[in-house]
Chains A and B, each alone.
Chain A
Amino acid sequence: MNISRRRGAVLAMSVAAVLGGLTACSSSSNHGARAPSTGNGSSASSASGGTPSAAASGGGGGGGGTYTIWDPYPQFDNSSDWVKLLQSCGSQAGVTVKRTGFDTTDLTTKVLLAAQQGNAPDVLIVDNPVVSTLADGGVLTDTTATKLDTSSIQPNILAAGQLDGKTYGVPIGANTLALYYNKNVLDAAGVDPTTVKDWSSLTTALQKIKAAGKKGITFSAIGTEEGSFQFLPWFWGSGANLTNLSSSQAVSALSLWTDWLKNGLAPNSVINNTQTTSWQEFASGDFGFGENGTWQLANAQKAGFPYGIISIPAQNGGGAPVPTGGEFVTIPVQKSTDRYATDEKLVSCLTSADNAYTTDTTLSYVGATKDIQSKQGSSTPALQPWIDAVQNAKGRTSDNLGTKYPKISEQLWKAVQSALSGAQSPQAALSAAQSAAAAATK
C-alpha cells in the first residue's frame, strides 16, 4: 500500500496534467458551442462568462464579481420571479449572481462538502432545523460578523436559527401545519368542523366520516424528518417534551395515531406518505381531513372541492403547538472576509419587507415579521388562520436542543414507524426510542 501510494501520487500528477490539457481543449470547443445557445438561461450564462472558478477562488474583490447563491427551490427556473429577484438584488449590490437550486434533502450534504473544500456559496438559503447543525459545524457566520439586522423578526421564528445566544441567519418566511378539511365529505357525514376541539371530538368526527363511507384523515409518517415534523403537533399537543420521548403523554399521542390506523380511520399508506403523497390522497376528495402545510394553499384552491382549515387540536382542547417550517437566509463562512459586505447587501435585499412579501406570496409562506404578516392578512384573508398558527408555532431546535434535535428526531420517527406498522406497541417503541436518543445525545 505504501509503495503503491507513492507511485500513485506520481501517476496522479501526470494524469492531472493530461486531464488538464484534455479539458482545456474541450472546454474551449465548449465555449464555441455555448455562444449561440444563450436562449436557455441567458442571465446565468452571462454570469460566469469564461471563468467558472472566479467565484470559487474568491477573486473579484470590491467592485463587481460573481456571487453564488444556493437555495432549496429547484422548482424555480431562470424565468421565475424568484430567480429574477435574486438577479435584481445582485445588480443593486453591483455584482452578478450565480444561483443554483438544490433538492432540499440534498442541500445539507452539498453544503458540507463544499464548505469542506472551501467552496461554500456566498449566500445559502436552507431549511431551518439544519441551521443549528451547520452553525455548529462552523459553516455559517453569525450576525455579529455580518451585521445582519434581525430585530423585526418574530422571536419564535428566529429561534430556530439561534445557537448558544448567537443568530445565524434571517428567516425568509415561515410555514406550519394545520388540518385541511373537505367540506363535502364533512357535510355528508354530518360533521361540523367547529365541534372539533380536542382529540376525542376529532376521533368521533373521523368515525362518523368512516360510517358515511368516506375516509377519515391522512398525514405523513414517513421515516424521515417529514414524519417527525408531522407528528410533533400531536406530540407537543399531549404535553410531551422532546427531552423525554417515552413519557405517558408521548405514548398517548402515538397511541392516537396507531388507533386511527387500527380502526381504519387513517389509511395504512401514511407510513410511507411524504407530505406530497398525503396531499394527493386528500386531493382525491375521499378524505375528511388532511394534515398539511401552508404551502398547499394554492393547491387547495385548485382541488375542485370546498375546503377549510382548522388548527390541530391539543389533547385536552385548544390549539396544539405546531412546529415552524421554512427556510433561513444565511451567509456561509468565506476565506476572504471582504465578501461579507456584499453578502449582507444581498441578504438584506432578499429579506427586506417588500421582497420578502413577494417571496412569501410565491412560496405560499407566512412572513416572518409583524409588518409582512398584517399586509398578507389584509390582502389574502385565506392566510389569516395560518398567520395565527405561525404566531403560536415553536421551533424544532428551540428549547435549547440545537444539534441534539436531529438525533432525537430520528428516534422519534423510527418509533412512529414501528408503532404504526405494528412492529411494536407505542409504549415499547417510544421506550426504545428514548434510550437510543439518550445514548446518542449524552
Chain B
Amino acid sequence: MNETTGSALPVSDRGVAGAAENAPATRGRLNRHAMTRQLAAWGFVLPVTVYLLLFYGWPLYRNIDLSLRHYTVRSFVQGGAKFVGLQNYRTIFHDPTFLPALEHTAIFTAASLFFQFSIGMVLALFFFQHFKLARTLRALFLVPWLLPLIVSASTWSWMLNSDSGVVNAALGVVGVGPVHWLTSPTWALTSVTIANIWIGIPFNLVLLHSGLQSISSDVYEAASLDGAGSWKRFWLVTFPLLRPVSAITLLLGLVYTLKVFDIIWIMTRGGPADASTTLATYSYQLGFGTLLPQFDTGAAVGNVLILIALVFGLAYIRAQRKAAA
C-alpha cells in the first residue's frame, strides 16, 4: 500500500511530489534530524489518523462484516450470524434490480457531474466579473445548501407533481401537456437528476470561483496582449490553469453523487418500478426500505459502491502522478 501510493497527493504540487521521489534514497540513512522531522510530521497528522481509524474504521469494518454474513433480524440483534463468504454478493449480482441500478447510477452520476460542473463553471466565470451585487448574489446561490435535504427534495417533488405541480402548470400555459415527471418510468430518473444538479451547483460554483480568483491577473494581461479573444482565452489560459481545481471538484462531486440517496428516496422511492433506483437507493431499500430489514445484502451493495469510488480514486491519483512527473 505504502509503495504504490507513496507519493500520491490529492492535489498535485510539483514541489511536494518531486521531493517525494527522493524519499526512498533518504530512507536508508535516517539520521536524527530526519527522525525528528518524521515525528513532527506524524504528530500533526496523528489526531486525524486516530479519528479516521476510530470513527470511520469501525463502521467500515462493520459494513464489510455485515456483507460477509447471513443476517436475519434475529442474528442482527442477538449475534451469531453465519459467515457465508461472498454469498450476499452473488445474491445481489443475480438480483434483477442490480443491473438497472448500476446503469441508473452511471447515468445519474455522469449527467449530474457534467451539468453541475459546466453550469458551475459558467456561473463562476460570470460572477468573476465585477458588477454590482455580484458578491451578494453569489452568496445567495449557496442558500439552497442550508436546507435540510428532506425539505429541498420535498419541495422538488411538490413542484414536479403531475397534477398540482407548478412545473406542469407552467408547461400548460405554453400549451405543453402534463409530463408525469415522477410517476412515469421514462421521466423519473431525469427528474431526480435535475434536482440533484440543482443541489450540486453551489458546491461547484464555490470551488471553481475560488480557483479562478487564485489565477494571477498577470496571466490574463499577457494573454490579452497576445490578442486572444475571450473564448480562446478561456480554453487556452483559464481552463488549463483550473485543471487541478477542476479535478478535485469533479472527484469530490463524484464521491458525493455516487452516494446520493435522500433526494431520490424522498422524490420517487427509486420508483416507479425501479425506474430511478441507483445503487445507493437499492442499498437503502434492502437495508431499511421494508418492514423486514436485510442488512447483509444492503451492506454488500454499499460495498460495491465503495469499490467503484475506490477505482475512480486510484485513477485520479494515477493521473495526478502522471501530471506531476
The answer to whether A and B touch directly, with their CB atoms under 8 angstroms apart, is: yes
Instruction: Using CB atoms and an 8 Å cutoff, list the residues of chain A in contact with chain B.
Output: 4-5, 8, 11-12, 14-16, 108-109, 112, 115-116, 129-130, 133-134, 136-139, 222-225, 267-269, 271-272, 281, 284, 403, 405-407, 409-410, 414, 417-418, 420-424, 429
- CB pair B275–A138 under 8 Å, yes or no, is no
- CB pair A133–B163 under 8 Å, yes or no, is no
- CB pair A269–B164 under 8 Å, yes or no, is yes
Q: Is B54 an interface residue (CB 8 A)?
A: yes
For B213, list chain A residues within 8 Å (CB): none
The SS class assigned to the A binding surface is helix
The SS class assigned to the B binding surface is loop
Place the interface of chain B in its size category. Answer: 35 or more
For B270, list chain A residues within 8 Å (CB): 223
- CB pair B291–A129 under 8 Å, yes or no, is yes
Q: Is B273 an interface residue (CB 8 A)?
A: yes
- CB pair A422–B185 under 8 Å, yes or no, is yes
- CB pair A420–B73 under 8 Å, yes or no, is no
Q: Is B269 an interface residue (CB 8 A)?
A: yes
Min C-beta distance of B55 to chain A, whole Å:
9
A420 to B184, CA, bound (A): 9
- CB pair B293–A108 under 8 Å, yes or no, is yes
- CB pair B54–A407 under 8 Å, yes or no, is no
- CB pair A271–B183 under 8 Å, yes or no, is yes
For A130, list chain B residues within 8 Å (CB): 291
User: Do A225 and B76 contact each other (CB < 8 Å), given the known contacts A268-B162, A420-B272?
Assistant: no
- CB pair B291–A133 under 8 Å, yes or no, is yes
For A136, list chain B residues within 8 Å (CB): 73-74
For A225, list chain B residues within 8 Å (CB): 290-291
With a 10 A CB-CB cut-off, give which of A271, A407, A414, A422 has the most chain B CB atoms: A271
- CB pair A108–B291 under 8 Å, yes or no, is yes
Total A-B residue contacts, Cβ distance less than 8 Å? 126
**Other A-B pairs, 10, CB within 8 Å; known A137-B77, A225-B290:** A11-B50, A12-B50, A15-B50, A15-B54, A129-B291, A137-B73, A222-B269, A281-B163, A422-B185, A423-B272
Residue of B50, B178, B271 touching A14 (CB-CB under 8 A): B50
Q: Is B85 an interface residue (CB 8 A)?
A: no
User: Do A421 and B185 contact each other (CB < 8 Å), given the known contacts A12-B54, A406-B290?
Assistant: yes
Residue of A14, A112, A284, A421 touching B183 (CB-CB under 8 A): A421
The B140-168 residues at the A interface (CB cut-off 8 A) are 157, 161-164
Looking across the interface, which residue of chain B has its beta carbon closest to that of A7?
B53
- CB pair B164–A418 under 8 Å, yes or no, is no
For B51, list chain A residues within 8 Å (CB): 15
Looking across the interface, which residue of chain A has its beta carbon closest to that of B187?
A421
- CB pair B74–A421 under 8 Å, yes or no, is no
User: Do A421 and B293 contact each other (CB < 8 Å), given the known contacts A116-B76, A136-B74, A137-B73?
Assistant: no
For A429, list chain B residues within 8 Å (CB): 273
- CB pair A137–B74 under 8 Å, yes or no, is yes
A305 to B114, CA, bound (A): 50
Looking across the interface, which residue of chain A has its beta carbon closest to that of B292?
A406
The B52-106 residues at the A interface (CB cut-off 8 A) are 53-54, 57-58, 61, 72-74, 76-78
For B184, list chain A residues within 8 Å (CB): 268, 421-422
For B183, list chain A residues within 8 Å (CB): 268-269, 271-272, 420-421
For A11, list chain B residues within 8 Å (CB): 49-50, 53-54
